[in-house]
Amino acid sequence: MIVRMPRLLAACSICWIAPMPPAAASDKPAYTDAARADADFPLQGEYAGEATVGGQPIAIGVQVVALGDGTFDVVAYPGGLPGAGWVPPDKVVGKGVRSETGGKTTVVLDGIDWTGQKRRGEIRDGAVVVLGDAGDVVATLPRVERSSPTLGELPPAGAVVIFDGPGPVDESKTLVDPRITADGLLEEGVATRDEFGDARWHVEFRLPYQPHDRGQARGNSGAYLQGCYEVQMLDSFGLEGKNNECGGIYSVAAPRVNMCLPPLAWQTYDIDFTAPRFEGGAKVRSARLTVRHNGILVHDDVEVPAVTRGGPRKEEGPTGPLYLQNHGNPVRYRTIWVVPKS
């Protein structure tokens, strides 16, 4: 495991919702319940703490990504976790392998630092332990569970509540053919009955744990404003943060920082949307999006010049519904509300 720092490890408006792609194969499970997940699930996640370098404490953040069958990707961030001290682009990646010895679980971490030197560490007893060349402990980074500061935020005055789980809202009146799980969560592949123009949206979502899947097959969905403009949802925990990953405006703009939390953690999108403008039937101004992912600004008034691919609507307009994409993965939603501005 490597940390990049000196001498350290571093009635419907959408009745024609897009068809669902084939679900993941049975040998690639998609877990929606942490209690039923595999032995790697408790080890993947985020770790953070400090190490002393030259007599000065330095923050370190580590993300451990489960890849199935006891294997992991590991990403280390000097300064802290994304959104909590790390300044892009400096980071170092490594690999991890789970082992069982004497009834004790350990993940051995190996990587190469920026000088080409091999570095190593372990996950043991609920922490990432960074090891020096002689096997001495350089730093101990406990596991952390981050939560969005807007998670559970109450709808303000003037808001329209679209979905509130077991709350008083009748989702059959706000959504087109919603599917609700036994534990009261909204399933993917649904659109609002009403259309909206300029608006502020709050969406709480949870990505499944799919350790054997990769790329666009791993926890894929998306929030399509007006059924046209996608803010991507994807299990891109520990990845680079591209425009087709979580927090990206699909095909238009990558997020400033990848704020994707580990799978099965509840996450938030807070989106300020400005609809396109039309005069005489012609568009005179494109749609614009400001997006906060888990409370962190990832897009600031970004222009979206055209419909993004994969949405149910192919033409722009002054209003439209919110569509939560069905891409064959069991993404779940709970609180959703909107404050119309026009």
Domain end residue (candidates: 81, 109, 144): 144
Q: 198 and 53 share a domain?
A: no
For residue 12, being part of any structural domain is answered with no
Q: 47 and 124 share a domain?
A: yes
For residue 58, being part of any structural domain is answered with yes
- Report how many domains make up the chain: 2
Sign of CA dihedral 320, 13, 322, 21: negative
Structure tokens at 49: 């703490």
pLDDT digit string (tens) for 88-121? 888 888 999 999 887 889 999 997 765 567 878 9
Domain end residue (candidates: 88, 111, 144): 144
The domain of 85 spans 34-144
pLDDT at 20: 43
Q: Judge whether 2 and 92 are in contact, CB under 8 Å.
A: yes
pLDDT at 11: 35
pLDDT at 204: 98
* CATH label of the domain that carries residue 292: 2.60.120.560
Degrees (nearest 5) of the Cα angle 3, 70, 32?
A: 100
For residue 28, being part of any structural domain is answered with no
User: Which of the residues in the chain have pLDDT under 70?
Assistant: 1-26, 53-54, 113-116
Domain end residue (candidates: 144, 179, 208): 144
pLDDT at 7: 31
Q: Where are the alpha helices (DSSP H) in the chain?
A: 171-174
pLDDT digit string (tens) for 29-38? 999 999 999 9
Measured in whole angstroms, the distance separating CA 162 from the mean position of its chain's CA atoms is: 21
For the chain, the first-to-last Cα distance in angstroms comes to 51
Sign of CA dihedral 94, 95, 99, 104: positive
pLDDT at 4: 32
Q: 335 and 297 share a domain?
A: yes
For residue 286, being part of any structural domain is answered with yes
pLDDT at 85: 95
Q: 271 and 201 share a domain?
A: yes
pLDDT at 170: 96
Measured in whole angstroms, the distance separating CA 91 from the mean position of its chain's CA atoms is: 19
